[in-house]
Amino acid sequence: MSAIVTGARIEDGSVRELERSFRGELIRPGDPGYDEHRKVWNGSIDRFPVLIARCAGVADVIAAVKFARDAGLLVAVRGGGHSFPGLSVCDGGIVIDLGPMKGIRVDPEARTARAQAGVLLGELDRETQAFGLAVPAGIVTHTGLAGLTLGGGIGWLMRKHGLTIDQLMSVDLVTADGELVRASETENPDLFWGLRGGGGNLGIVTEFEFRLNPVGPTVLAGPIFWPMSESAKVLRFYREWIAEAPDELMTIVVHRKAPSVPFVPPDLRGELVVAVVLCWSGPVDEGERVVRPLRKFGAPVLDLCEPKPFLAHQGMFDPSFPHGWSYYMRACDVAELSDEVIDITVDHSLRIRSPLTAFPIWQRGGAAARVDEQETAFHGRGAGYSFNITGVTESAEGFDEEREWVRGFWSALEPAHTSVYVNFLMDEGEERIRQAYGPEKYDRLKALKRRYDPDNFFRLNQNIAP
């Protein structure tokens, strides 16, 4: 293969030839829609590809791969565009954008669903919840199913139903040679192993097939808030309270300034708070009993935990992480909320400046932790908690300060770091990617990469170089 080219001027003739067979949309600089479609979720990323191929189906994906290969173009692949470091757009190359591929088919009897690579989490939930079913996935509805699944997929249902990949049955994938292959437990099982955690390294997934589980449609869910000055006490109580929690309970702790949204009383807005956000996916009355001790702890300033449709709960974080704001994030897993981890957390949280900065600490464990560590490429099933320390501003103003706050906080936690979830990495270099997989899985993924993508055609990802 010829060398990868960035900043290239692609030949008009070759694009015209691609255009003749392409069913989707081909967008070049200067075309209407170019700026709209080169943007990704993280507004701090601003890149200029030479071509955006908005694929309408598998044939378009194959054509775009072959075109990029012949032209020697750098390739970015986009599902939902939510990569924190902006890996789904590039300067001077081609974006293979799967966004228009929105097909979803639910089989309520077989309890399975097929979803194409442009589907967003909320779109899949809408279809599956019509039958009281769900795929365990993430916590923000506008996240892409593709990138999330390929990294593992953690969310409100993982303690009950496992990671997103634990319910994955098969995928259709276009390889770096433009061939369509299927991977499942029985077809190309080694590839299937690697796709469950290995990200976009091995090819472009065009369709996913999942098992579905009964969920809700009513869950007991929502946040309970205390003043952040109480956080050290709340977290010490919380770690004891969840120690024996049933799998139906999943919680996320958030430190932030209370947002200016209708459900927050005006006098609380802008105040530093800690919230335990929970989702109980079992029978509601049983959940009320489990949640009662937390509700009674100290003096919560706001309690919004109530029975509600799972779909409504899934959308709860959407306004906190909209498209176009500037985001910087560093992540780590820790084994436990030790006194030291709690004290570092409180100390740094009290220094939050931006009214938009909000960071989750995820409870882990449950069903996701009981799957054998060797079964998939995803690493770190035994983690106790995952920190996503996220700094957020509306624009570039104040962003550098938030980034420094994130880095300082993350470094302070370094003695407690165990693993890191690959989908929560920024552009942090090879050693961190190795940490995300652990040395053995990293080597196994490298061997797969050598087989399926020896030229590193798919390199804009948490890259495992062949």
Ligand X SMILES: Cc1cc2nc3c(=O)[nH]c(=O)nc-3n(C[C@H](O)[C@H](O)[C@H](O)COP(=O)(O)OP(=O)(O)OC[C@H]3O[C@@H](n4cnc5c(N)ncnc54)[C@H](O)[C@@H]3O)c2cc1C
Can you give the binding site for ligand X, defined by CB under 6 A? 41, 77-84, 87-88, 98, 117, 138-140, 143-144, 146-148, 150-151, 153-155, 199-200, 204-205, 321, 423, 460-461
Which residue number, 199 or 300, has a Cβ lying nearer to ligand X?
Answer: 199
Q: What type of residue sits at position 252? A: I
CB of 321 to ligand X, least distance (A): 4
Q: Which is nearer to ligand X, 154 or 361 (CB)?
A: 154
Structure tokens at 422: 């690959």
Quote the tokens at residue 48: 């200029």
Query: In the numeric block, which tokens belong to residue 250?
Result: 């999943």
Q: Which of 126, 145, 281 is nearest to 215 (CA)?
A: 281
Is the Cβ of residue 10 or residue 61 nearer to ligand X in the bound state?
Answer: 61
In angstroms, give the least distance from the CB of 120 to ligand X.
8
- What are the residues whose beta carbons fall under 8 Å from the beta carbon of 160, sequence distance 6 or more? 136, 213, 247, 248, 250, 281, 282, 366, 367
Cα–Cα distance, 252 to 385 (Å, whole number):
9
Distance CA(359)–CA(69), nearest Å, equals 40
Place of tokens 């938030």: 402
Cβ–Cβ < 8 Å for 174, 206: yes
Q: How far is the CB of 109 from ligand X (least distance, A)?
A: 28
Q: Are 77 and 34 in contact (CB under 8 A)?
A: no
Q: How far is the CB of 463 from ligand X (least distance, A)?
A: 9
Kindly tell me the sign of the dihedral angle through the C-alpha atoms of 314, 316, 319, 322.
negative
Shortest Cβ 37–ligand X spacing (Å): 12
What is the distance between the alpha carbons of residues 395 and 136, in angstroms, rounded to a whole number?
A: 32
Question: What distances in angstroms separate CA 335 from CA 251, 327, 413, one per listed residue?
Answer: 16, 26, 12
Quote the least distance from Cβ 340 to ligand X, whole Å: 27
Measured CA to CA in angstroms, residue 29 lies from 19, 35, 38, 49, 92 at distances of 16, 8, 9, 8, 10
The distance of closest approach from Cβ of residue 296 to ligand X in the complex, given in angstroms and rounded to an integer, is 29
Instruction: Give the amino acid at 275.
Output: A
How far is 29 from 8, CA to CA, in rounded Å? 12
Using CA atoms, how far residue 93 sits from 77, 84, 178, 210, 459, in Å, is 11, 19, 18, 32, 12
> 390 with 277: CB under 8 angstroms?
no
Pick 204 or 290: Cβ nearer ligand X: 204
Of the candidates 380, 362, 359, the one whose C-alpha atom is nearest the C-alpha of residue 371 is 380
Question: Are 380 and 421 a contacting pair, CB within 8 Å?
Answer: yes
Is there a cis peptide before residue 217, judged by omega within 30 degrees of 0?
yes
Minimum CB distance to ligand X smaller for 152 or for 300 = 152
Q: Which is nearer to ligand X, 141 or 231 (CB)?
A: 141
Closest to ligand X by CB, 39 vs 233, is: 39
Query: Closer CB to ligand X, residue 86 or residue 287?
Result: 86
Cβ distance to ligand X smaller for residue 230 or 453: 453
User: What is the nearest approach in angstroms of ligand X to the Cβ of residue 26?
Assistant: 19
- 90 or 242, CB closer to ligand X? 90
- Which of 88, 357 has the CB closer to ligand X? 88
Q: How far is the CB of 358 from ligand X (least distance, A)?
A: 11
Nearest distance from C-beta of residue 12 to ligand X, angstroms: 27
Question: What is the smallest separation between the CB atom of 98 and ligand X, expressed in angstroms?
Answer: 5
